Amino acid sequence: MSFSYFIPIIHIGPVKSNKISIDLPIKDIEKLIIGSSSVFEVIRYIIGDGEVIYESKLFLEYKNKIWINKEAEKFEWTNHKDIFSYVETQVNQIEGKGLTSSFLPSFYVFYTNKYSKSYVSCGNWKYGNIRVVMQMAAFGKWVDGYPAINIDRESKITYSIAIVNPYLKSSKYTIEIKGLNIIHNVIVKPQSVEVIGLADIILKNKWTGQIYVYGKQRSIMYVINHDIDNLYDITTIEHSDPFRAELNYMPRFQYIRSRLHSFFKRLSL
Q: What is the pLDDT of residue 246?
A: 46
The CA distance from 209 to 178, in Å, is: 9
Q: What is the pLDDT of residue 245?
A: 47
List b or e across 20-56, with b for residues whose CB sees 16 or more CB atoms inside 10 angstroms. bbbebebeebeebbeeebbbbbbebbbbbeeeebeee
Other CB atoms within a 10 A radius of the CB of residue 251 amount to: 9
Q: Tell me: the pLDDT tens digits for 159-199?
A: 999 999 999 999 999 999 988 999 999 999 999 999 999 99
5-125: CATH, from 1.10.3470, 2.60.290, 2.60.40, 3.30.160: 2.60.290
Share of the chain above pLDDT 90, in %: 80
Q: Which helix (H) or strand (E) holds 49?
A: none
| Residue 220 burial by Cβ neighbours in a 10 Å radius (0-12, 13-18, 19+) | buried
The CA distance from 154 to 204, in Å, is: 11
Q: Tell me: the pLDDT tens digits for 19-78?
A: 999 999 999 999 999 999 999 999 999 999 999 999 999 999 999 999 999 999 999 999
Rounded-to-5 percentages of helix, strand, coil across the chain: 15, 50, 35
Instruction: Please answer whether residues 159 and 237 qualify as being in contact, where contact means their C-beta atoms are separated by less than 8 angstroms.
Output: no
DSSP 123: -
Going across the sheet that includes 108-112, the strands are: 74-78, 19-23, 108-112, 119-122
Mean pLDDT of all residues in the chain? 91
Instruction: Please answer whether residues 55 and 43 qualify as being in contact, where contact means their C-beta atoms are separated by less than 8 angstroms.
Output: yes
Which of the four pLDDT bands, split at 50, 70 and 90, describes residue 130?
confident
What CATH architecture applies to the domain 130-242?
Answer: Sandwich (2.60)
The CA distance from 51 to 112, in Å, is: 24
Q: Tell me: the pLDDT tens digits for 85-120?
A: 999 999 999 999 999 999 999 999 999 998 888 999
Q: What is the pLDDT of residue 154?
A: 96
The CA distance from 37 to 92, in Å, is: 14
Nearest to 89 by CA among 32, 20, 27, 172: 20
| Annotated domain spans of the chain | 5-125, 130-242
Q: Tell me: the pLDDT tens digits for 234-251?
A: 999 999 888 754 455 555
Which of the four pLDDT bands, split at 50, 70 and 90, describes residue 139?
confident
Strands (E), 156-252: 157-165, 171-177, 182-188, 192-197, 206-215, 220-227, 230-239, 241-242
Q: What average pLDDT does the segment 209-227 reach? A: 94
